[in-house]
Each structure stands twice: as C-alpha cells, then as structure tokens.
Amino acid sequence: MFTIISIYRAKAGEEDAIIAMHENWDATHSSLYLSWMLFRNTDSPYDFIDITHFENEESAQAMKHYLDQDEWYPRLLSLLETAPVFTSCRYEWQAAQLQAHPAISFIPPLMPLCTQHSTQASMER
C-alpha cells in the first residue's frame, strides 16, 4: 500500500469550498484510490490534512497525472494560503487493536516511512 499525506491551510472563508471540492471529486473519481480522507484541525480550523491510500505507488502517480490535467487541482490551489506539503509513505506496520476495532476498520493504516516535499512549483503553474 502507498499513501500520500497532504497538509495545507485554507484562505479565510474557503474552508467549506475545500470540503465540497473533496466531496464532489469523490463522487466521480473514487476508482482512482483505495480511500481518501480529509481531516480538519480542531485547534486551527483553516488547517487540513488530506490522506489518500493507493494500492501502490504507480496508482498514486496515475492519480497525480490525472490531476495535472484536470481543473480540480488548480481550483484547490486557488483556495489555499500556501502550497501544500506532500508526504509519500509506504505501509510498514499496523497495531492489532486498530485492525480489530469495528468502528475504524475501514481506515487503512498510516505509514511511518515517509518522504516530504512541498509543491511550490505546482502553485506557480
């Protein structure tokens, strides 16, 4: 399994638009990934964490290629204060309690082996 974690800050007043964009994308493109979750920081409501799980790194690259040619990603960038920071991770371990818990069994594990990069160049597109 391969996971990409994105962290970004919304421009003031654009938080609901970011959530709606994720909901709309999911409704039409869910075959591109295994799961996709958007979290909002409870202490800083402008800050979001986006976690997307893929079958493998090739699937993640395919979605990136698709997003590069779609209007969705530039629209998302227009709603952000700064460029997102992406962290790419591969699956290494999962706690047995997490695997067995029925309320969260749909959530794939977070990956501890990650590489982080910013997308400042993407913001300049």
pLDDT per residue rounded down to tens, the chain (125 residues):
899 999 999 999 999 999 999 988 876 777 888 888 999 999 999 999 999 999 999 999 998 888 878 888 899 999 999 999 999 998 888 776 655 555 554 454 444 444 444 444 444 43
- List the CATH number of the domain containing 23: 3.30.70.100
Q: Is residue 51 part of a domain?
A: yes
Q: Is residue 101 part of a domain?
A: no
Q: Is residue 67 part of a domain?
A: yes
Instruction: Let me know: does 12 contact 101? Beta carbons within 8 Å.
Output: no
- How far from each other are the two terminal CA atoms of the chain, in whole angstroms? 30
Instruction: Let me know: does 44 contact 105? Beta carbons within 8 Å.
Output: no
Q: Is residue 103 part of a domain?
A: no
Q: Is residue 100 part of a domain?
A: no
Tokens at 7, concatenated: 């962290």
Look at residue 4 in the predicted model and tell me its pLDDT: 94
Look at residue 37 in the predicted model and tell me its pLDDT: 92
The pTM score is 0.74
Q: Is residue 80 part of a domain?
A: yes
Distances (CA, A) of 102 to 7, 59, 65, 91, 97: 27, 27, 34, 21, 10
Place of tokens 């079958």: 55
Look at residue 24 in the predicted model and tell me its pLDDT: 85
Q: Is residue 11 part of a domain?
A: yes
Q: Is residue 114 part of a domain?
A: yes
Give the chain's domain count.
1
Look at residue 18 in the predicted model and tell me its pLDDT: 96
Domain span at 69: 2-95+108-123
Q: Largest alpha-carbon pair distance within the chain?
A: 44
